[in-house]
Amino acid sequence: MKQTTVANRVESVGIGLHKGEPIEIILEPLEANNGIVFYRSDVGMSVKASPGNVVNTNNATVIGDGQNYISTIEHLLSAVYSYGIDNILIILNGAEVPVMDGSGTSFCMMLDEAQRRELDENKSVLIIKREVEVTDGKKFARVKPTKKPSYNFEIDFPHPVIGKQNYQFIFSKKAYIEEISKARTFGFLKDVQYLQSRGLALGGSLDNAIVLDDKKILNPGGLRFKDEFVKHKILDAIGDLALLGAPVLADYESFAGSHNLNHLLTKEILKDPKNYEVRDFAMIEELEFIEVFA
């Protein structure tokens, strides 16, 4: 299997979650062996999506170069990864990826429009060779060796609408589009009000997030899935692990995981070469794994 990029330039406009300002996003083709590259046209900053460039994980995954940053990259990365895109240039005229409707759906639509083009170089895969885990009290995120990638996530919120939820997602592009991509980010009204009082989450609304008060969901349309909360956590995890720079052959498991735990996990994986192996797709015997990105 060959590396891929997008075949066509596509663009859209959306609201930045934190500043509440319109942001233009453009997806452009990129040649082989470049990976996922973000470019901020307003400040002339170029930064590759990689664990080493993560500068913040509070409420979102943020990458930067020490002077400037790009926030809330995880939803877009989740879609790019699930569509099997290896090389892409993402151009923004602001410091955030627009939140769109709070899920990955809009980015899937952009990628459908852009289509996919094969390049001359072979695709690589990052194979997890042994269990790697990071913890924060009872919270954890881990990866284990497997022959078919999956994501198993559990959450437990003391809220009557959420409570304890668990979902096991067997990864494929088709399943991602149907089961995961539409799951929206969520937050609690009191937290949103606090963040907005500090000049953050100014773009947050019922149009781009599930918002809950102490007892109920405030969105008039309710949920898209009964387990939309845990499914969004899986969407986030896929995006955060996409920073590893290649399709990942692993079973991912988490309880009450976060962007920070996912970031710590990617760093822990890369810390020891015994944890993983990067192999040419042509050397992969697991046909099912190849087919999940078809």
pLDDT digits (tens, 9 = 90+) for 121-165: 999 999 999 999 999 999 999 999 998 999 999 999 999 999 999
Give the CA distances from residue 217 to residues 92, 138, 222, in Å, rounded to whole numbers and listed in that order.
32, 27, 7
Report how far residue 250's alpha carbon sits from residue 277's, in angstroms, rounded to the nearest whole number. 11
In the chain, the amino acid numbered 162 is: I
Neighbours of 210 (CB within 10 A): 25
pLDDT at res. 286 = 56
Helices (H), 67-125: 74-82, 105-114
Give the pLDDT score at 285. Answer: 59
Residue 250 pLDDT greater than 70, yes or no: yes
- Domains of the chain by range and CATH? 2-122 (3.30.230.20), 125-291 (3.30.1700.10)
Residue 201 confidence class, pLDDT cut points 50, 70, 90: confident
Asked whether the beta carbons of 71 and 23 are under 8 A apart, the reply is no
pLDDT band at 278 (very low <50, low <70, confident <90, very high): very high
- Please state, rounded to an integer, the average pLDDT across all residues of the chain: 94
Distance of alpha carbon 245 from alpha carbon 266, whole angstroms? 10
Which residues, including other chains, have CB under 8 Å from residue 19's CB and lie 6 or more apart?
94, 95, 96, 202, 203
The three-class DSSP label of residue 179 is: helix
Residue with tokens 């409420």: 59
Residues in contact with 285: Cβ distance below 8 Å, sequence separation at least 6, in sequence order: none
pLDDT band at 291 (very low <50, low <70, confident <90, very high): low
The alpha carbon of residue 176 and the mean position of all alpha carbons in its chain are separated, in whole angstroms, by 12
SS3 content of the chain, % helix, strand, coil (to 5): 25, 35, 40
What's the sign of the alpha-carbon dihedral 86, 92, 94, 99? negative
Q: What are the pLDDT digits (tens) for 33-88?
A: 999 999 999 999 999 999 999 999 998 999 999 899 999 999 999 999 999 999 99
* Catalytic (active-site) positions: 259
d(CA 219, CA 227): 15
